Structure 1
Amino acid sequence: MKKILLSAGLLLATSASIFAQEYKFKDVVDIEATEVKSQGRTGTCWSFSTSSFLESEIFRLTGKKVDISEMYTVRNTYPQKAHNYVMRQGKAQFSEGGLAHDVLNSVEANGLVPQEEFSGLFGQEKTYNHAEMIAVLRAMVKTYADNPGKKLSPKWRDAINKVLDVYIGEIPEKFTYEGKEYTPESFRDAMKIDADNYVTLTTFTHQPYYESFILNIPDNFSNGSMYNLPLDEFVNEINHALENGYSIALDCDVSEKTFSAKHGVATLPHDIGDNEKSMTEIVAELNVTPENRQVEFENFNTTDDHLMHITGMVKDQKGNVYYKVKNSWGGDSQRVGNGGYIYMSAPYLKMKTISVLLHKDGMTKKMKKKLEI
């Protein structure tokens, strides 16, 4: 009897090994991107992701590989956040977060600077940590919003800028890059980045399709608008852009247990019992519809908690599509899978994406005409 049970056990183990299919990924689209960085102990994923996106854009437009400063954009954006909070008398959010269009807003107003000219680090610092700075800034803007002197002094803006100078750095007026002198504005122009060429797309059922609207989410402090598309057309625009060499800045939810930086994958299993298995093996995934996507957004299961950079597409051995997503949590292979990239399944992207930003030329001609852009 023991022999029979042993044989049965071996049969089950053999069957499991036959049916278990560990991921074997193959590149389908691979767009040039700079190396993976770490945002450290900061909430600046919005700047790291969109700066990475712009680096790929610069390469596409000029053929130059340039490392641009994420912290230059952060430094220029905090005064805008402070203004928004103080002028709304504290009835707004003041946080480290932001969205992709905030980077484009800064680029348009303040230009670009290479990383070597403005790192946001001082002395022996090698990693970013804004915990103390944000605590100081929050206390300051709350004080200004409370207006204890009963007549707010315009000096508060100078005070905010002085703190940012101390913690991040003073804004450069000019710098030399590859033997040529630039201002931040002239460097932006030399890199051929024009903020007017970029659009944000989203997909929700509570707003009319093919029109722009302001999505009411906490980090949209600057009230950026986005075009609303039906879900299938939204995904089609993403695929079309990638297949034609245009990378994408992605705002999405990464709070799911099946989003794993350690394994380098993000999936949306049909059966919750497959959550752990989906980290290493192909499993059946949910069918995402506009309706169940909207429910997840309105019950706060889907929030805009992280931004990343889509640089391509891969397929597994069964032909399932995944998006190659560059993260900003470092690229140490001992700590993160896929060298700091996340291979995000199509169902996960459909369910958990808040919005995407891309060059308008990456869109289909039909959609550009429909949106009149």
Structure 2
Amino acid sequence: MKQWMMGAGLLVSITAAAQQAQTNREGSQYQFTTIKQNDAYDVQSQDRTSTCWSFSGLSFFESELLRNGKGKDLNLSEMFVVRKVYPLKAANYVRMHGKNNFDEGGGFPDDLLVLRRYGLVPQEAYDGNRKDVYNHGEMVSLLKSMTLPLADAKTLTPSWNKALEGVLDAYLGAAPEQFSYKGKSYTPQSFAKELGLNADDYVIISSFSHHPFYSQFVLEVPDNWNWEKVYNVPLADFTSIAEQAVQNGYTLAWAADVSEKGFSHKDGLAIVPEKESADMFTKPTSEKAITQEMRQLAFDNFETQDDHGMHITGLVKDQQGNKYFVVKNSWGKSNYCGGYFYASMPYFAYKTTCFMVNKKAIPAAIAKKMGL
């Protein structure tokens, strides 16, 4: 689908346009200066689905390819990943007798799982039967109505797997086992291998004090249906890894809570103001100093939840020297920043549940403590 493709060389102008849109917004006093901007493709829309984890994860993989000089004009298929994950989620849900999550949501471990087990495909090889927009509501209702009684059953036959696959094929289409791309034939596995994408190159990092630092733990959020482990580091290392990675040309797949009053996608800002005010989205304001204890408390009392997956591509500063990550969202382009927004460092420190990054982007001293 050509409308979702663009060359990497156009990104700088998109970022500049986003900054200009925020600066020129009526009444806005924000002035942003680019510190670092890394390559990414155009903003897309997850439409009426909860598949942000696939859109952000694959946008991250696309930037990895661009960083390595590969994947020019490549749009990876988010729905291929979604299609491959559903049967795995269903099998887990049934095995756990319904005591596990089975829904549209997911996480970055799902992107890595599909890359490792099945490979990837371009959008033109599999678009998930997209019409005008993606809308999986009816499909998910059917899948849930099928799996719920199975989870309560005392015995099962293998036929239920075929029935589930039939529903997925009817709504999303059968995932390709072989396809042609730019005149060459591939399987999903051979395509990922030729691109040079290796799931073992990436790690997921978090920072919570209810588990030992510099160890791995299962992140306790509902969408972590496969109980995948993340690396746990202190908050200072957590933010340092993220900022240094972006400064050194890497991007981050970012999972965070977006329910705060300081989050406004429309205004293109995510901040943690010391005092909420009517003008906090139109001029720079003082923000809270985030501590490990504040971050932990917000997670423990459910103020911080695993709401949304996004893609951090760059770093800017405002006229007061405050730094913000440049975030590519998957809600289309209908905001003041063309689908991007700016997340302040305090917001990142406070509201991030985890992020995925290339292991090579982690400073050596911290990587050693993590056992990498």
Matched, 1:102 2:102: no
The aligned residue for residue 6 of structure 1 is: none
> Which amino acid in structure 1 is aligned with residue 91 of structure 2?
H
Task: Select which of 125, 141, 150 maps to 1:144.
Answer: 150
Runs of 4+ in 1 over 3 A off after TM superposition: none
The aligned residue for residue 295 of structure 2 is: 293
Task: Select which of 309, 329, 339 maps to 2:311.
Answer: 309
1:211-234, CA deviations, whole angstroms, 9 ceiling, x for partnerless residues?
011111111101111111110111
Matched, 1:85 2:84: no
Assess if the C-alpha contact under 8 Å between 2:70 and 2:195 holds in 1.
no
RMSD: 1.1
Task: Select which of 62, 65, 75 maps to 1:58.
Answer: 65
The aligned residue for residue 53 of structure 2 is: 46
Deviation of 1:94 (Å): 0.9
The aligned residue for residue 5 of structure 1 is: none
Task: Select which of 87, 100, 123 maps to 1:115.
Answer: 123
Assess if the C-alpha contact under 8 Å between 1:121 and 1:127 holds in 2.
no
> Which amino acid in structure 1 is aligned with residue 358 of structure 2?
H
Task: Select which of 180, 199, 213 maps to 1:176.
Answer: 180
Assess if the C-alpha contact under 8 Å between 2:28 and 2:281 holds in 1.
no
Deviation of 1:49 (Å): 0.3
Assess if the C-alpha contact under 8 Å between 1:269 and 1:283 holds in 2.
yes
**Alpha-carbon distance in structure 2 between the residues aligned to 1:63 and 1:154:** 42
Deviation of 1:120 (Å): 0.8
Q: Which has the larger radius of gyration?
A: 1
> Which amino acid in structure 1 is aligned with residue 63 of structure 2?
S
Q: TM (normalized to structure 2)?
A: 0.91
Q: Secondary structure at the match of 1:338?
A: coil
Q: TM (normalized to structure 1)?
A: 0.91
Deviation of 1:21 (Å): 7.4
Deviation of 1:209 (Å): 0.6
**Alpha-carbon distance in structure 2 between the residues aligned to 1:257 and 1:368:** 35
Deviation of 1:151 (Å): 2.4
Q: Secondary structure at the match of 2:50?
A: coil
Q: Residues 144, 270 of structure 1: CA spacing in aligned structure 2 closer, same or farther, 3 A cutoff?
A: same
**Alpha-carbon distance in structure 2 between the residues aligned to 1:321 and 1:21:** 17
Assess if the C-alpha contact under 8 Å between 1:111 and 1:185 holds in 2.
yes
- In the alignment, structure 2 segments of 5+ residues that lack a partner are 1-26
The aligned residue for residue 367 of structure 1 is: 366
**Alpha-carbon distance in structure 2 between the residues aligned to 1:86 and 1:55:** 34
**Alpha-carbon distance in structure 1 between the residues aligned to 2:255 and 2:239:** 14
Deviation of 1:372 (Å): 2.0
> Which amino acid in structure 2 is aligned with residue 99 of structure 1?
G
Q: Secondary structure at the match of 1:49?
A: helix
The count of aligned residue pairs is 345
Assess if the C-alpha contact under 8 Å between 1:62 and 1:191 holds in 2.
no
Matched, 1:255 2:259: yes
> Which amino acid in structure 2 is aligned with residue 232 of structure 1?
A
- In the alignment, structure 1 segments of 5+ residues that lack a partner are 1-19
Q: Secondary structure at the match of 1:187?
A: helix
Deviation of 1:59 (Å): 1.2
